[in-house]
Structure 1
Amino acid sequence: MSMKAGLWQQQTMKLSMTQELTQAIALLQYSTQELMEFLENKAIENPLLQIEPGSIQSVDPRYDSVKKVKKSLREDKHNWLEQMAKNETTLADYLLAQLDLRSYNESLKKTILFLINSLDENGYLHIALDEVADILAVPQPVAEKALETIQALEPPGVGARNLQECLLLQLKYNRDEDKLAYRILSDYFLLFAEKKWRLIVKQLEIEMKQIQEVFDEVQALNPRPGSDYSSEPSAYIIPDLMIKWDGEAFSVQMLDESLPKIQFNEGYYQKFHANGDAKVKRFLQEKQQDYHWIMKSIEQRKETLLRVALKMIEKQPEFFKHGKEYLKPMTMKEISEELEIHESTVSRAVREKYAQTVFGTIELKSLFSSTIKTNSSQDASSVQVKKEMAQMIEAEDKQKPLSDQDLASLLEEQKGIVVSRRTIAKYRDQLGIPSSSKRKRFG
């Protein structure tokens, strides 16, 4: 083997991530809102890119054709906002409406106002009273009196500093105060929350049935008393696609009316290109190239999204005809292999993309699920397994709830679905269903 130093030529191939390629990848994964913001920012830095704002549309699946939908949207483009649920009264407004601030001295009044404005969206106070006293330069008893005043207002539980205090305030607010419930929440809150009830039964010398009654009472309380008065605006979704089934075939329509209309600023280009300055011409050339790359990237984004959507429809025809009960197992890898694109491209294409269907607006990403083996030739999706689990738990004997192993056994026996106990536990957590020990009722 020769160890001599020397120079050799070697030919290799590698993929270089150019700025244009990076931009195309970014645009593909942008949601409609993110794409709108991107184009608006680009228009600021690129004088050759001229945009006209689009109009956000609401889509009503009751109409029979895309043409009728578009006509309705043009006619109702101002009215749809009025149909969105909106609570004009904020929590602060509601609390202040219950107070006559003229009846308080200046020190107490400013402390009450400060505390009200310090409440979070759920009505909780997260600042210590001694800190409030220091900030406002008032005695701590004034801060305590101010908080006491707020906690006496509606909604019951407002002004609490933690969940325990919130629930106790609501029990105290009720005229028919349950002394046992109040004592349990006061002295045994953690044991009660963790359902370690036998220790409470032993210490208080009561029956398990009594604690179950307290639990039912507490379940009726509101852990977020201020949430009904949140000033946060209503959220809405702009669908990217409309998928329709006319009884014979599917049709897919891009809903891109909300996007700004992009034009090349020919007047600006001609005016400064005639200048003859080399630097100006180089600047215009760069911005013109940038404009063309953006247009190409947007068209590529649209084409990729349509290809992925059409393939998803091909894999899930019954779902798009009838709804989520007919969802079959489908992975991004399957779609990518059949379209001969990378799996990450599929992931980017469906990220925060929504489709309007006859049964409502769906997130495309939600259609992908892992495959669960069954005893038959048909595999099941994780969505189906979760649905079957939820139904079994709903129908179980609450005094003898099903364990995760019980659920796994029943799924195999009754549905032919083979799934491990650990997977059951994971799905149960994702559904927000507590364990069997915490679902158990005592009478």
Structure 2
Amino acid sequence: EIQEALDSNLMLEEFDDTAETAAASDADTLDETTRLDNPSEADNSDAADPGQGPDEDFEGPSSDEFETLVADPHDQELDGDRVSDTSELLQTDALGDDLPVDSIWEDVYDSLPTGLGAGASFDEDGESFDARNSPQGTAQSHLLEQINLLNFTETDEVIALHIIDGLDHEGMLRLELEEIQEAMPIDWDVEIEEIEAVLHLIQHLDPLGIAARDLGECLLIQLQSLPNDLEAKPLAITLITDHLASLGNRDFAFLIKHLHVSEAQLQSAIELIQTLNPKPGAGLNEVAPQYVVPDVVVTKKNNRWTVELNPAINAKIRVNPEYSALIKRNDSSPDQAYLRDQMQEARWFIKSLQQRNDTLLRVSTKIMEVQAGFLDHGDSAMKPLVLHDIAEDVGLHESTISRVTTQKYIDTPLGVYELKYFFSSHVSTHSGGEVSSTAIRAKIKLLISQENTRKPLSDSKLANLLAEDNINVARRTVAKYREALMIPPSNERKQLS
């Protein structure tokens, strides 16, 4: 969006403030980091603090300081007397002191180069770095490359293409052989045995076990390819062939008794099976990772937390003084009207961008003030927080807070998080207090990490342990939080040792 504005409006230009430090005080200059680091340079504001002051160990602009970051545009000049006159000319009702945050946010900033929408970069040959670094092809293309090297007949090649087309994203064959037979030309008179032969060959290509029709066949193909001198191989084959359901249910006592094996023997066979790939095609279909550029950075300086906009994405934009100097006060020609329109649009864009960054910084700072414990202790110290709390503190509507924190990311010492991550519902404690759902999930994760894997904690037991910590949650709530953490139920977490 910023680049589009620069391309479409001749009055806008991006500049390097290191070369023009004097421009940092211009009304149409965008440099949040400088203003944050030098709050004394901003004009004083009469606005009242809409929220509480920051914690004593948390350094960031207070609500009053946020207001002083943007001086009154009527009191500032663009670049000299002539441009100052033009500024006065453009002070119309269309550009008031305060822009309507709710109305401009979606219109102007939906495509800002922040977070996931940072835009593509190109090398000297014009090739996108994203395209160059993305995975090449899929499981289907990987198999086709190998099949092209084989001496297939025309019939076998068509069969192979049907098999490959029938693979799902995990590399499993989801077509019946009869369906493939029906898809072949009638006059070719293809037998099921011929289709099975081609399938068997494909299943032994790379990755081994691809095009299997079920999990058992996939694992068995991989097991049978292992050296025969592996002591655990025969038992592992038996487990996959005859007792896959019991193995999946972790019914180890039944397996030991029924197969007449020791616990150590069963453990060795299970460990061998765990080296196999149950989804051989999944790794070939992975999409390129999405890299996130944080919008805000929180760091600790002199034992105080400081919140700043990320200078890497904080574009510095101003009105081009050369073009603005072309505007003449008493000239009503079409060219002058065009320049005035461009000037007003440029000033509106710069001010709305300034307000966007001010709002983002205010909201981010307030969130970090509330969640300062997270910065020191992680998820377990997360406090209950909802949109209404922040909206009330900074004096904005909840819908605005929602838009500000959606797909906006903050870089913390513990990693990069979406701002929305720091909002969580509350759960009442027995003593009448409140604890955040995020903190409860962290507690559940900790309890499970410390459990006896031979006797994993059930959801009911987890609820009882939380109750001992004065956290009142139902078993079904524990199950919901556990599933959100992608932790399987207790029967699937059971291990022999």
TM-score bracket relative to the smaller structure? 0.5 to 0.7
Distance 2:386 2:175 in 1: 47
TM-score, normalising length from structure 1?
A: 0.66
Counterparts in 2 of 1:55 and 1:437: CA distance versus 1, 3 Å: closer
Counterparts in 2 of 1:155 and 1:193: CA distance versus 1, 3 Å: same
Instruction: Map 1:308-387 onto structure 2 (within 5 A).
Output: 308-320=363-375, 323-324=378-379, 326-374=381-429, 379-387=434-442
1:227 aligns with 2:275: no
Partner of 2:416: helix, strand, or coil?
strand
Instruction: Map 1:93-132 onto structure 2 (within 5 A).
Output: 95=143, 101-113=149-161, 115-116=163-164, 119-132=167-180
The CA deviation at 1:147 is 1.8
More helix by share: 1
Distance 1:328 1:21 in 2: 27
The CA deviation at 1:149 is 0.9
1:163 aligns with 2:218: no
Q: Which deviations, in whole Å up to 9, do the C-alpha atoms of 1:284-304 show, x marking residues without a partner?
A: 999999887766654443332
What is the match of residue 471 of structure 2? Answer: 417
Partner of 1:232: helix, strand, or coil?
coil
What is the match of residue 491 of structure 2? Answer: 437
What is the match of residue 67 of structure 2? Answer: none
Distance 1:54 1:257 in 2: 15
Instruction: Map 1:25-44 onto structure 2 (within 5 A).
Output: 25=106, 32=113
8 Å CA contact 2:172–2:214 kept in 1: the answer is yes
8 Å CA contact 1:88–1:231 kept in 2: the answer is no
Distance 2:493 2:357 in 1: 47
The CA deviation at 1:87 is 5.9
The more displaced of 235-244 and 295-304 is 295-304
Gaps of 5+ in 2: 1-99
8 Å CA contact 1:125–1:161 kept in 2: the answer is yes
Counterparts in 2 of 1:106 and 1:198: CA distance versus 1, 3 Å: same
Q: Give the residue type in structure 2 aligned to 1:437.
A: N
8 Å CA contact 2:233–2:272 kept in 1: the answer is no
What is the match of residue 35 of structure 2? Answer: none
Distance 1:429 1:376 in 2: 27
The CA deviation at 1:308 is 0.9
Distance 2:158 2:339 in 1: 59
8 Å CA contact 2:209–2:218 kept in 1: the answer is yes
The CA deviation at 1:350 is 1.1
8 Å CA contact 1:118–1:125 kept in 2: the answer is yes
What is the match of residue 392 of structure 1? Answer: 447
Counterparts in 2 of 1:403 and 1:249: CA distance versus 1, 3 Å: closer
1:148 aligns with 2:200: yes
Distance 1:22 1:145 in 2: 65
Distance 1:263 1:133 in 2: 68
The CA deviation at 1:382 is 2.5
The more displaced of 153-162 and 113-122 is 113-122
Query: How many aligned positions are there?
Result: 376
Distance 1:154 1:403 in 2: 40
Counterparts in 2 of 1:200 and 1:294: CA distance versus 1, 3 Å: farther
Distance 2:394 2:339 in 1: 38
8 Å CA contact 2:387–2:402 kept in 1: the answer is yes
The more displaced of 26-35 and 235-244 is 26-35
What is the match of residue 24 of structure 1? Answer: 105
8 Å CA contact 2:114–2:408 kept in 1: the answer is no
Q: Structure 2 residue aligned with 1:240, among 292, 295, 303?
A: 295
Q: Which deviations, in whole Å up to 9, do the C-alpha atoms of 1:92-136 show, x marking residues without a partner?
A: 565466557352223223443554466444323334444444555
Partner of 2:455: helix, strand, or coil?
coil
- Root-mean-square deviation (CA, aligned residues, Å) is 4.7
Counterparts in 2 of 1:367 and 1:28: CA distance versus 1, 3 Å: farther
Q: Give the residue type in structure 2 aligned to 1:421.
A: R
1:172 aligns with 2:172: no
The CA deviation at 1:309 is 0.1
Q: Give the residue type in structure 2 aligned to 1:430.
A: A
Q: Give the residue type in structure 1 aligned to 2:443.
A: E
What is the match of residue 42 of structure 1? Answer: none
Q: Which deviations, in whole Å up to 9, do the C-alpha atoms of 1:293-322 show, x marking residues without a partner?
A: 766654443332222101012212343356
Distance 1:253 1:136 in 2: 64
Counterparts in 2 of 1:206 and 1:359: CA distance versus 1, 3 Å: same
Q: Which deviations, in whole Å up to 9, do the C-alpha atoms of 1:373-403 show, x marking residues without a partner?
A: 4467974332332222223223223333322
Distance 1:396 1:431 in 2: 16
Counterparts in 2 of 1:437 and 1:35: CA distance versus 1, 3 Å: closer
